[in-house]
Structure 1
C-alpha cells in the first residue's frame, strides 16, 4: 500500500470504526441509565407505538380500578348502616311487643310510642349518614342531582361505575324503592305496604311521616308522640285495643326486618362481585405492565456485558486511530539525510 500525506486510508477506517462504536456505546449507556431498550420512537418505531397504546390502557385500567375501589367503599358503608338499622329494628320489635302488656295504660303506651319514634329517627339518621361523596343507597333524594335539604349533600341514590376498559358499566340501584316493595300488605293495620319516596322509616312502613331530613313526629303503632293520650295509631283502631293489633304490629316490624335483610343480601352479592372485579382489574393492570416491559425494558445483564465490550472496542479504536495517524509522520523519515 502506498504512502500518502493526502489520503490516509487506515486513519479513515479507524475513525469510521470509532464513530460506529461510539454511537453503539451511547445507545448502550442510555439503556443502562434508563433501563429501557426502547425509550423513543427512534429506537424502535413499532415497539414504541405499541407500548404507548398499552401505556394508555394501563392509565385507563387504573381509573377503572379506582372506580371499583370507590364503589366498594360505598357498598361497605351502606352494609354497615344496613346492619345497624337491623339492630335498631330488633329493638323496635321488643318495644312493640311490650305494647301488649300496657294496653290499659295510655301513659305507658305513650312512653313506649315516644321510644319507638326515637328509634325510627335513629334509623333515618343512620340511613342519611350512609353517604359517600354524595351517593346514598338507602335514603331517598327528591331533588335528584340537586341534593337534599338535610345537610348530607345526597346527590345520587344509585351507584354507576365502569367495569372495564371497553367502557361497560354496572349500576347498583338505590334500595329505598325495593324496601318499600318488600314490605307486604297488612290489612289488620290498614296499610298496604311501605311507600318509596321519603325517609327510610317511611319506606319500611313504620311511620306516616315521609319528610326526609326532619324529625319523625310519630309511628304507625301508637300515632303521634309527645302525648299521654293516644288518639291515633293502629293500637287504637276502631277505638278498641286488641291483642290482634299487637300481633299485626309485630308482623309489621318483621316485614321491615325482612326488607332490610334483603338489602344486606343484595349488598353482600355486590361486595363479592366488586371484590372479584377488583382482583381481575389488578391482574389486567399487571399483565399490561408486563407487556410494556417485554417491549421496552432492557436486559440489564446483557447490556452490562455489551457495555464492557464496547468500552474495550472504543479503546482499541482510539489506539488504532492513533497508529494510523502516526503513519503520516513516518513519511518524514524518507526525506531525512
Structure 2
C-alpha cells in the first residue's frame, strides 16, 4: 500500500525554500550594503556605477596632484616673498652707500651676505624635488609648467585631463625682455640667465646702465660682461644710482612673479575644493544607484528570520501529520 499524503509537506517546503532564498539575498545586502553588487542584480545600474567608481578614483588622483601642487606653489611663493625682502634690503644698503663718508666696503660685505642668502632661498624652494623658481638644464622655460587640475569625461565617452599652467608669455619675435624673467634664478647652461629676475641683465640694458648689472650671476649660463651688484671703495655715486634703479626694477618684476604664484595658488585651492565636492557628488550618485536601504533591509531581515522560523514549524507540523497517518497504517 502506498500513501500519497505530501501536499501540505510540499507546500511548507516550498515556502521555506522561498524564504531562505529571500533571506540569503537580504543578508547579502545587509552585509555588503549594496542592492546592486553584480551585473546580474541590475545590469544598467551596475555599468553606470562601475564607470562612475573608476572616474571617482581618477578624481581622487587629481585631488592628490592638486595637494602636491598647492604645497609646491606655496613653497615657491614663500621663496619669492623672502627674496623680495632681501632685494629690498640690498636696495636700502645701496641707498645708504650714497651718504658722505660711508664705508662702502663694509656695506658691500653686508650686500654680499644678502646675495648669498638670495641664492640659498632660491635653491631651497623645492618641494617633492620640484623647484618652480630655479631653472636648470632639465627645464624648458618656454614650456608651461602644468598641474593636473581636472578629469573630464565627454559625452562620447572619451576622457581627458585639464591642466592649470604657469608659463612665460614670450613675444612672437622670440626675443626675451625683463618681463620674461618669470623665475628667480636661471642657471641653464644654454642661456645667459635671462629668465631669472635675479640673474637677468635685461634690467640693466633696458635702463641704459653703464654695466650689465645683475643681482647674482647664473651658475651655468654665459655671464660674459655681466657684473654682480656690489660696491668697492671707488664705486661712483652714478654707478650706485644705476644699481639702485636696477634693484628697484628687479623688485617690481619679483612682485609680479609673486602675484602670479599667489593667483595660481588661489586657483589651485578653488580647484581642490571643487574636486572634493565633485568626488562627494560622485559617491552620493553611486550610492543612489547601488546602495541598499539599510533600515528597510534590516527590517526585512528580521521579518524573514521570523518567517523562516514559522515555516520550519509548519514543515514540522506537516511532517508530524504525515507520520501520524503512516502510523495508522503501520500494522495493516
Question: Given the two structures, how large is their TM-score scaled by the length of structure 1?
Answer: 0.77
Whole-Å separation in 2 of the counterparts to 1:293 and 1:32: 14
Determine the structure 2 residue equivalent to 1:138: 133
Matched, 1:165 2:173: no
Q: How does 1:240-319 map to 2 (within 5 A)?
A: 241=236, 243-319=237-313
Whole-Å separation in 2 of the counterparts to 1:182 and 1:24: 71
Determine the structure 2 residue equivalent to 1:37: 35
Determine the structure 2 residue equivalent to 1:328: 322
Say whether the 8 Å CA contact 1:199–1:212 is kept in structure 2: no
Structure 1 208/321 Cα, relative in aligned 2: closer, same or farther at 3 Å?
closer
Say whether the 8 Å CA contact 1:117–1:219 is kept in structure 2: no
Matched, 1:118 2:113: yes
Say whether the 8 Å CA contact 2:197–2:254 is kept in structure 1: no
Per residue, is there more helix in 1 or in 2? 1
Question: Given the two structures, how large is their TM-score scaled by the length of structure 2?
Answer: 0.78
Shift of residue 297, structure 1, vs aligned partner: 1.7
User: Equivalent residue of 2:61, what SS?
Assistant: helix
Deviations 1:59-115 (A, max 9, x none): 10000011111111111001111111111111101110122125x67xx22332232
Any gaps of 5 or more consecutive residues in structure 1? 146-155, 184-194, 223-227, 236-240
Determine the structure 2 residue equivalent to 1:186: none
Say whether the 8 Å CA contact 2:66–2:268 is kept in structure 1: yes
Matched, 1:128 2:126: no
Per residue, is there more strand in 1 or in 2? 2
Matched, 1:25 2:19: no
Say whether the 8 Å CA contact 2:80–2:257 is kept in structure 1: yes
Q: How does 1:90-129 map to 2 (within 5 A)?
A: 90-101=88-99, 108-129=103-124
Deviations 1:32-71 (A, max 9, x none): 2222222233333322222111111111000001111111
Deviates more, 1:91-100 or 1:58-67: 91-100
Say whether the 8 Å CA contact 1:139–1:199 is kept in structure 2: yes
Matched, 1:206 2:227: no
Q: Over aligned residue pairs, what C-alpha RMSD do you find?
A: 3.2
Whole-Å separation in 2 of the counterparts to 1:173 and 1:137: 11
Deviations 1:165-184 (A, max 9, x none): 12112222379x9994368x
**How many residues end up aligned between the 2 structures?**
294
Whole-Å separation in 2 of the counterparts to 1:179 and 1:7: 104
User: Equivalent residue of 1:165, what SS?
Assistant: strand
Determine the structure 1 residue equivalent to 2:158: none
Whole-Å separation in 2 of the counterparts to 1:322 and 1:24: 21
Deviates more, 1:40-49 or 1:131-140: 40-49
Deviations 1:266-296 (A, max 9, x none): 1121121111101100000000011111122
Structure 1 61/182 Cα, relative in aligned 2: closer, same or farther at 3 Å?
closer
